[in-house]
Structure 1
Amino acid sequence: MNETAAENYRRRMARVLDHIDRHPDGDLRLETLAGIAAFSKFHFHRQFGATFGISVQRYVNLSRMKRAAFALACRAEMPVIEIALAAGFQSPDSFAKAFRAEFGTSPSAFRKAPDWAAWQTAITPYDNARKQIMTADFHRADLEIVDFSEVPIIRLTHHGDPAALNGSISRFIAWRKANRVGPQVARTFNVFHGVEPEDVRVDLACQAMPGLEPGEGMERASIPAGRCARLRLVGVNDELEAPATWLYRNWLPESGETLRDYPLFCERSNFGPGLPESEMVADLFLPLA
């Protein structure tokens, strides 16, 4: 397969993933998705499995379950039946059965005490599938040198087991909601102090607005001003390892730049449990001397 044909093939498969992402409660039958890819339905299911290492129906189920799990944990105001319908299920009973099959617990029990380790294990095939086709091909044109202005923040630092990170995220979101400082009000940041496989240290942070007080286990800090290489990422949400690796391994040695003594960080400007992943925006900042 030549390069042009391979890119066309990749685009057609990416179009299917984007459709699933945007229409969790829509018609996601095999025939519909094959038509979106412009492939024969007789071969599409085999093509999908060969490309992503997972069947198309399993991918659809995990896509819906991932969205539903985040809504349960982070959107306490949404009734379970509303989450079920938004995830493409016709009734709470069918949703509960599917949810238990994937995560080993009921939706209501997960809402009360999310088991993020079980969640991560369950959705790993989905994440791995997306990596097969959604990995961005980064270029120097995607990057801009900017002068970042200092931002005072309130941060919750997660340090330890990466499987527990989503629990910290849920706690931070709950604090933001209680204080009415959602993403539309205060800027959102992550600061990556260390990303060892079994020992993650990352700040979950938002802009410190006037009168906003830190919650339990949180503290005031600031992201300092300075020159940064900024890489804008669209449709790359959870998986930041690939763009970070490209910055350090490919761009930095060729740039002639030197690094400043502050860790890699990102600003998330368009994100949320109900937003299609293809529309999420994050700016990844590499601090420069």
Structure 2
Amino acid sequence: MSHNPLACPPRFRRLLRYIDEHLQSELSIDQLSEVACCSRFHFQRQFAAWMGLSVGEYVRLCRLKRASLQLAFRQLPVTSVALDCGYQAPESFSRAFTRLTGQAPRQFRLQPDWPGWASHFDPLSRHRSRQMKPLLTIEQVDVVEVPAIWLAVLEHHGDPRLLGDSIRRFIRWRQQHGLSPQRHATYNLFYNDPEQTPAAEFRLDIAVAVPQPVSDSAAGITSKLLQGGRCARLRHVGSDDGLGAAMQFLYGQWLVQSGESLRDFPLYCQRLRFFPDVAEHEAELDLYLPLAPLATEQQASPGIASG
């Protein structure tokens, strides 16, 4: 059973994936209209009517979004960031970045203005989440038994627009302790919905799997046990802009049809492939919805244990 009606023609979904894959390349109107199987005489008007942005503005925002995350979360030289995002010279990249965000690339790298950043890129996220909803089916969800895992956790409390600062702190701490994403799995625990929660009450854990409890109060790192148990697992491929729709599918479609009951433990994910290291539509994570034990199992309902 299909969950979402097709939000846009398949040829335009293919076009958006193509743009994500080729942000470093020259993207002409003739080239993009050919990918969209659309007459170049009508392409620009069709794209703007469907997406709510001109194709030129859409490409520019996608390029600068990727660039901003590379600047904030990765240690790439500004010149490399500029080339990777389709700018032939760092000077033109710097002008475009500063004009949009109000901060020069190096200034943004040192101290990002995340609320200002959100005001420029949230419209792009809204358009993408509306037009690129994941196409999900019940068959994509499986029920798995998850082992208990120790996590080193940085808790984010407050305005979700400032989450980038918490991510930067956590990345630095991981690097200092040699906990690379390639060898130590990355998790997020979702305590509430940012769309329905006052900003001051928003909570999210940023976590890494560790072999034993770890605590670093100076860095704000605590230890938590991700309790083992049954979970519904759904692979989400693509931008976090579609993550809310994937969560709604688990609660609103799969859970109702499965007849399962929920465990007293938050929804969480394991991140597998990261944007901006891969194209945005290629990012991957597994969502885990904790389920109650089967009636035949004799075990207590688990929670989050702090170490």
The TM-score with structure 1 as length reference comes to 0.93
Q: 1:248 aligns with which of 246, 251, 261?
A: 251
Moved more, 55-64 or 8-17: 8-17
Distance in 2 (CA, whole Å) between partners of 1:247 and 1:7 is 18
CA distance in 2, matches of 1:7, 1:105: 38
Matched with 2:295 is: none
Query: 5+ unaligned residues in a row in structure 1: which ranges?
Result: 1-5
Shift of 1:274: 2.4
Looking at structure 2, the residues matched to 209 and 170 of structure 1 have their Cα atoms a distance apart, in angstroms, of 23
SS in 1 for 2:250: helix
- Equivalent position SS for 1:191: strand
User: CA offset at residue 277 of structure 1?
Assistant: 1.6
The residue identity in structure 1 corresponding to 2:220 is G
Q: Which residue of 2 aligns with 1:99?
A: 97
Q: Does 1:201 align with 2:203?
A: yes
In the aligned structure 1, how far is the partner of 2:240 from the partner of 2:184?
Answer: 19
- How many Å separate the matches in 2 of 1:132 and 1:253? 24
Distance in 2 (alpha carbons) for counterparts of 1:14 and 1:273: 20
1:166 aligns with 2:164: yes
Listed as ranges, the gaps of 5+ residues in structure 2 are 293-307
SS of the equivalent of 1:194 reads: coil
Q: Identity of counterpart residues, as a percentage?
A: 40
Write the distance in 2 (CA, Å) between the matches of 1:93 and 1:35. 31
Alpha-carbon distance in 2 for matches of 1:197, 1:14 = 33
Larger displacement relative to structure 2 (47-56 or 245-254): 245-254
Amino acid in structure 1 at the alignment position of 2:245: A
Cα distance in 1, alignment partners of residues 213 and 248 from structure 2: 38
Q: State the TM-score, normalized to the length of structure 2.
A: 0.87
Decide whether the 8 Å contact of 2:8 with 2:132 is kept in 1: no
Q: 1:237–1:281: 8 Å Cα contact kept in structure 2?
A: no
Distance (Å, rounded) in 2 between the aligned partners of 1:170 and 1:275 = 19
Task: Give, in whole Å, the separation in 2 of the partners of 1:7 and 1:135.
Answer: 8
RMSD: 1.8
Q: Structure 1 residue aligned with 2:272, among 257, 269, 272? A: 269
The one-letter code matched in structure 1 to 2:155 is T
For 2:258, give the aligned amino acid.
S
Kept after mapping to 2: 8 A contact 1:74/1:174: no
Does residue 1:69 correspond to 2:68, yes or no?
yes
Range that drifts further, 90-99 or 174-183: 174-183
Counterpart residue number, 2:178: 180
